[in-house]
Amino acid sequence: MELIGRKTEVNLLENSLESNLPELIVVYGRRRVGKTFLIRQFFKDKFVFYTTGIYQGTKQEQLSFFNRQLNAYASGAYPLAKDWFEAFDQLKHHLSHCKSKNKVVFIDELPWMDTPRGRFLKAFEIFWNSWGSSRSDLKLVVCGSASSWMTNKFLKGKGGLYGRMTRNIPLAPFSLSETEKLLEKQGIRWNRRQILDCYMTFGGIPYYLNLLQKNLSLDQNIDALLFAPSAQLKNEYDFLFQSLFSQAETYRAVVEILAKKSVGLSRQEIVSSLKQLDGGGLTVVLEDLCRCDFIRKYSAFGKKERESIFQLTDMFSLFYLRFVKGYNGKDPNHWVNMMDSPLQNTWRGYAFEQVCLLHIPQIKKALGINGIQSDISSWHYKGAKEGAQIDMIIDRRDQTINLCEMKYSSAEYEITKNYNEKILQRRELFRKQSKTRKALHLTMITTHGLLQNKYSGDIQSEVTMDNLFEG
């Protein structure tokens, strides 16, 4: 199968393969994002050893599978190792006798192999530090979805593997452009608004997108995958957290708190809502969720780093918590029968805002400012009479600020007299409260552009859904 996107990641892997140095390559990211597929597609038949951890497997089960894989590649009869130290000694013996120019070893779902009291990590450290790191022909790729484990042991850990990683490859969900290419490859011919709706439901997660059936409409696919009695993704949300995080309930609690507040919450507000977790523990949880692309951390305009806001941005979680969790109905056509309901329309408006926030480079390119340094933030004002907010502010180095309004609609968006007055008042309120002297440009980001009328002239710049699909 052909790789879609992943140009940066492929370039890093190519460089590692061509280098004359030993390589310890760490690939991590949200479950279902395509880590294993990327590695297997890039290296194809170059592996001299490949194994994977077993979810919730015992130490003995992990060792047994490792042994079967080793014997399959070695065409030999290595006895079942009594522990991981012996298992890695056997792997060293096998690699020492391989004739390949580059010895590519892939260990997938590494965290699952690290069972309690199994001493796996210590054996792995000794294998790499005492032998692998001196072999210029060894390219060792390790992969894992368990974000906290990968972070603590490789990215930030202070143990024997600290500073030993040669390449760090975080894998993010697909963009709209990559999603469109994947759907085309599957023979799905939807228009861009349908693809946008698909993205707002499943996010850019290749595994979910590959489950879509080309003979069904998007709405029928949503019913089949999430609402039907035997829906394949009905329990996905729970499994997602269990497989990613050792303290799944805590991570899920943070996500579900953020799901209730569209603009996000500060750290202190999260602490107040949780009533149990603070200090370093919460820091780790928030960092892990950011690293796995579940949430984003951003600053309100003019605020300091310590006043950062955390916002849920994982599209699948947003959809699941809004519509699937707690649904006990038996209607296999539940989503189709909700079509264009107020609840659906409210969700689309909010989800579109999140999609825009995930496509900042495309927005800047459409505005012709991708080469200008800029900061992205939001702004909230709580006045005595009425509050105001701007969900996306692009504060540019060229003395200009784009105040962005994001609107989802099925046709060209019409600016009415009342709405025009509202955004003009909001602009002037922002100018007054921020005390900025920069030029303020009103920017509309819409699905199908603006309907030209006597009010649309107050908008300095436009971005459409098609712009978000730029590669």
Residue range 204-229, pLDDT digits in tens: 999 999 999 999 999 999 999 999 98
pTM for this model (two decimals): 0.91
Helix (H, G, I), strand (E, B) or coil at 252: helix
Dist. CA 171–CA 96, nearest whole Å:
31
**H-only helix segments in 75-217:** 84-96, 110-113, 120-130, 147-150, 176-185, 192-202, 206-209
Strands of 138-144's sheet in order across: 47-52, 103-108, 138-144, 23-28, 167-170
**7-170: what CATH class?**
alpha beta
Closest CA to 353 of 306, 401, 392: 392
284 vs 291: CA distance, rounded Å: 10
Question: For 206-220, 293-307, 428-442, which range has the lowest pLDDT when averaged over its residues?
Answer: 293-307
User: For the segment 162-185, what is each residue's pLDDT rounded down to a tens digit?
Assistant: 678 899 898 999 999 999 999 999
Task: Give CA–CA dist 90/80, Å, rounded.
Answer: 10
Tokens 């879509």 locate to 212
Find tokens 């800029």 and name the residue. Answer: 374
**What's 101's DSSP letter?**
S
> pLDDT per residue over 306-333, tens digit each?
678 999 999 999 999 999 998 887 888 9
Q: Does 368 have pLDDT greater than 70?
A: yes
| Nearest-angstrom CA–CA distance, 87 and 70 | 9
Instruction: Indicate the length of the chain as a whole number.
Output: 471
Single-letter amino acid code for the residue at 395: D
Q: What pLDDT score does 85 carry?
A: 98
CA distance 349 to 344: 9
pLDDT of residue 277: 63
Which top CATH class is 363-468?
alpha beta
Q: How far apart are CA 298 and CA 310, in angstroms?
A: 7
Query: Which residue from 141, 90, 86, 143 is spatially nearest to 113, judged by alpha carbons?
Result: 143
Average pLDDT value for the chain: 91
Q: Which residue has the tokens 């509202």?
A: 422
Domain boundaries, the chain: 7-170, 175-358, 363-468
Query: Are 414 and 401 within 8 A, CB to CB?
Result: no
Cβ of 131: how many Cβ atoms within 10 Å? Answer: 17
**C-alpha distances in angstroms, 98 versus 73, 94, 133?**
10, 7, 17
Same fold: 7-170 with 363-468: no
Residue 384 has pLDDT above 60, yes or no: no
Q: What is the pLDDT of residues 113-139, one digit of tens each?
A: 999 999 999 999 999 999 999 999 999
Q: How far is the CA of 117 from the CAs of 60, 72, 113, 129, in angstroms?
A: 12, 27, 11, 21
pLDDT at 380: 86
Residue 397 has pLDDT above 80, yes or no: yes
Would residue 446 be called left, alpha or beta, if left means φ above 0 and alpha means ψ between -120 and 50 degrees? Answer: beta
Question: Considering just the CA atoms, what is the radius of gyration of the chain in Å?
Answer: 25
Crossing angle (nearest 10°) for helices 84-96 and 59-74: 10
Residue 141: band (very low, low, confident or very high) from pLDDT cuts 50, 70, 90: very high
In this prediction, residue 1 has a pLDDT band, given cuts at 50, 70 and 90, of: low
Q: Which two tokens stand for residue 436?
A: 């900025």
- Alpha-carbon distance of 77 to 89, in angstroms, equals 14
Evaluate the CA torsion angle 354, 175, 40, 37 in order and state its sign.
Answer: positive
Mean pLDDT of 331-342: 90
The per-residue pLDDT for range 42-95, each reduced to its tens digit, is 998 899 999 999 999 999 999 999 999 999 999 878 999 999 999 999 999 999
Structure tokens at 150: 């990968």
Assign 362 to helix, strand or coil.
Answer: helix
